[in-house]
């Protein structure tokens, strides 16, 4: 049931002692980097005064802008000879940040993925198809190494090429997959078109769903179609990549591996630490990273710590599914809206298909939101009255939640642009 029982179920007092010791080592290492040497000096920070994880508030926050400013080597805490791998973020805005790993870093990261996957029930007898882009992004090689460590048979399928993915699943009895949730929904339409029923014609039993925000409804919709259990997987390249936080069999929040990271939730405006249970921005500190330790990194991801113990027996705290990124927030007529609110509502409405796109325009002084919604094929051939009723229902349901009235266009299944990576949910034409 546990990959490393002692660490996964360690009592909190010991876990915190371990964090304090590792934080000390991390600070000593970080001081060797150009960036932290400069920052600590400017703050006149005596790192010896930081003794427990609770003292971490005295340390400076680190942002993506800091990583960009020090691009490419200013965060390195070791010599370049010690590095064995480089990865980068998949962000679409600005220059992608790069992260360097030593052999020790890759071993620690691999172990976190093995721990996470094992927790969901994956074993060496499984066949694991990794449907994530291989290359600079972390979702390919990260999961690949973790699955090999468990001893599963790994099919490095990579992203895209839906028909071949389905063929591989059938030919080699794939039982576990790693897939982006929006792509899982798209792939379901290809299954249907080709007359293959994943429940009947494949051996799929577990899926790791990650890399982008998705609602509980979307997870259930995917699970129902495929007949597997879908586990939420969270990570970011700055903190290694996947394997930072992962759902256990309870499927109720993701255990964030506190032997590897110190976790804080802060108010993104005041930057003050929030009490446990309140939603804010996730801030993380690496505890085992050798090549490129990062202290108090502002992830921009919004979540909260779920208070109380998990019935699975693991003592590492759980975070709620990510509701969005601080920079995903749309402000329309003074109302703050996250794309996931729209997704959540749409997934509840029968007849809605597998993809949608939000378009923001400025008309005079007015902001206008249009939501293009793919609908299910059987609806599309249907009569106009039925379509109009569906459209009306979508407008009403969205209005009740986001408090502004969007324009809704119903479109044919599979007609909106698809992405092999993270889904693009918003096109903002308001910027000059």
Q: Which residues bind Zn ion (CB under 5 A)?
A: 248, 250, 310, 312, 314
For the segment 312-331, give every residue that binds ligand AMP (CB under 6 A).
322, 325
Closest to ligand AMP by CB, 209 or 358: 209
Closest distance to ligand AMP from the beta carbon of 137 (Å): 6
Helix (H, G, I), strand (E, B) or coil at 210: strand
Closest to ligand AMP by CB, 10 or 295: 295
Mask of contacts with ligand AMP, 235-274, x by CB under 6 A? xxx-------------------------------------
Gap between the Cα atoms of 239 and 101, Å rounded: 11
**From the list ligand AMP, Zn ion, none, partner contacted by residue 355 (C-beta under 5 to 8 A by kind):** none
343 binds ligand AMP (CB under 6 A): no
- Residue 60 token pair: 């400076």
Gap between the Cα atoms of 303 and 214, Å rounded: 13
**From the list ligand AMP, Zn ion, none, partner contacted by residue 310 (C-beta under 5 to 8 A by kind):** Zn ion
Closest distance to Zn ion from the beta carbon of 350 (Å): 32
Check: CB of residue 243 under 8 Å from CB of residue 213. no
The maximal CA–CA distance of the chain, rounded, in angstroms, is 73
Instruction: Give the full edge-to-edge strand order of the sheet including 426-428.
Output: 407-411, 366-375, 352-363, 426-428
Closest to ligand AMP by CB, 27 or 294: 294
In the list 225, 234, 257, 356, the residue contacting ligand AMP (rule: CB under 6 A) is 234
In the list 232, 354, 355, 368, the residue contacting ligand AMP (rule: CB under 6 A) is 232
In the list 36, 137, 228, 338, the residue contacting ligand AMP (rule: CB under 6 A) is 137
Closest distance to ligand AMP from the beta carbon of 53 (Å): 22
Residue 72, preceding peptide bond in cis (omega within 30° of 0) = yes
Gap between the Cα atoms of 304 and 277, Å rounded: 6
Site size toward ligand AMP (CB under 6 A) is 18
For the segment 346-405, give every residue that binds ligand AMP (CB under 6 A).
none
Closest distance to ligand AMP from the beta carbon of 264 (Å): 15
Helix (H, G, I), strand (E, B) or coil at 178: strand
- Residue 161 token pair: 């090429």
The torsion defined by the Cα of 3, 6, 7 and 9, in degrees rounded to 10, comes to 90
**Which of 340, 360, 349, 356 is closest to 279 using CA atoms?**
340
**From the list ligand AMP, Zn ion, none, partner contacted by residue 312 (C-beta under 5 to 8 A by kind):** Zn ion
Gap between the Cα atoms of 85 and 100, Å rounded: 6
Which region, judged by CB under 6 A, interacts with ligand AMP, from 39-47, 58-66, 227-235, 397-405? Answer: 227-235
Check: CB of residue 202 under 8 Å from CB of residue 170. yes
- DSSP letters spanning 311-364: TT---S-EEPPP-EEGGG-EEETTEEE-HHHHHHHHHTSTTEEEEEEEEEEEET
Closest distance to Zn ion from the beta carbon of 426 (Å): 33
For the segment 72-131, give every residue that binds ligand AMP (CB under 6 A).
89-91
Check: CB of residue 120 under 8 Å from CB of residue 231. yes
**Chain positions contacting ligand AMP, by CB under 6 A:** 89-91, 137, 210-213, 232-237, 299, 301, 322, 325
């Amino acid at each position: 049931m546990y990959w490393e029982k002692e660490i996964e179920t360690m009592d909190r007092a010991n876990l915190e002692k371990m964090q304090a010791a590792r934080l000390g080592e991390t600070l000593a290492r970080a001081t060797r980097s150009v960036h932290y040497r400069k920052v600590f000096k400017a703050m006149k920070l005596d790192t010896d005064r930081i003794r427990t994880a609770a003292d971490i508030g005295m340390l400076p926050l680190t942002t993506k802008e800091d990583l960009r400013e020090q691009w490419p080597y200013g965060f390195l805490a070791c010599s370049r000879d010690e590095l064995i791998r480089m990865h980068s973020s998949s962000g679409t805005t600005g220059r992608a940040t790069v992260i360097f790993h030593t052999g020790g870093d890759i071993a620690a990261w691999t172990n976190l993925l093995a721990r996470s996957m094992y927790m969901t029930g994956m074993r060496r007898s499984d066949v694991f198809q990794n449907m994530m882009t291989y290359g600079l992004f972390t979702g390919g090689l990260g999961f690949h190494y973790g699955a090999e460590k468990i001893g599963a048979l790994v099919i490095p399928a990579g992203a895209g090429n839906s028909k071949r993915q389905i063929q591989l699943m059938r030919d080699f009895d794939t039982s576990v997959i790693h897939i982006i949730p929006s792509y899982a929904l798209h792939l379901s339409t290809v299954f249907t078109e080709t007359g293959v029923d994943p429940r009947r014609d494949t051996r799929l039993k577990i899926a790791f769903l990650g890399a982008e925000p998705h609602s509980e409804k979307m997870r259930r919709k995917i699970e129902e179609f495929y007949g597997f259990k879908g586990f939420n997987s969270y990570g970011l390249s700055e903190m290694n990549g996947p394997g930072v936080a992962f759902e256990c069999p309870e499927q109720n929040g993701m255990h964030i591996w506190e032997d590897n990271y110190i976790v804080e939730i802060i108010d993104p405006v005041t930057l003050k630490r929030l009490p446990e249970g309140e939603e804010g921005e996730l801030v993380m500190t690496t505890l085992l990273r050798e090549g490129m330790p990062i202290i108090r990194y502002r992830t921009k991801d919004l979540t909260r710590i779920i208070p109380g113990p998990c019935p699975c027996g693991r003592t590492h705290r759980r975070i709620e599914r990510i509701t969005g990124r601080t920079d995903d927030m749309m402000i329309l007529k003074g109302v703050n809206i996250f794309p996931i609110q729209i997704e959540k509502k749409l997934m509840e409405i029968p007849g809605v298909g597998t993809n949608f796109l939000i378009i923001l325009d400025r008309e005079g002084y007015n902001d206008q939101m249009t939501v293009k919604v793919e609908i299910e094929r059987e609806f599309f051939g249907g009569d106009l009255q039925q379509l109009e009723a569906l459209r009306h229902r979508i407008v009403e349901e969205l209005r009740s939640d986001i408090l502004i009235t969007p324009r809704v266009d119903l479109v044919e299944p599979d007609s909106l642009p698809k992405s092999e990576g993270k889904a693009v949910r918003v096109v903002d034409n308001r910027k000059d």
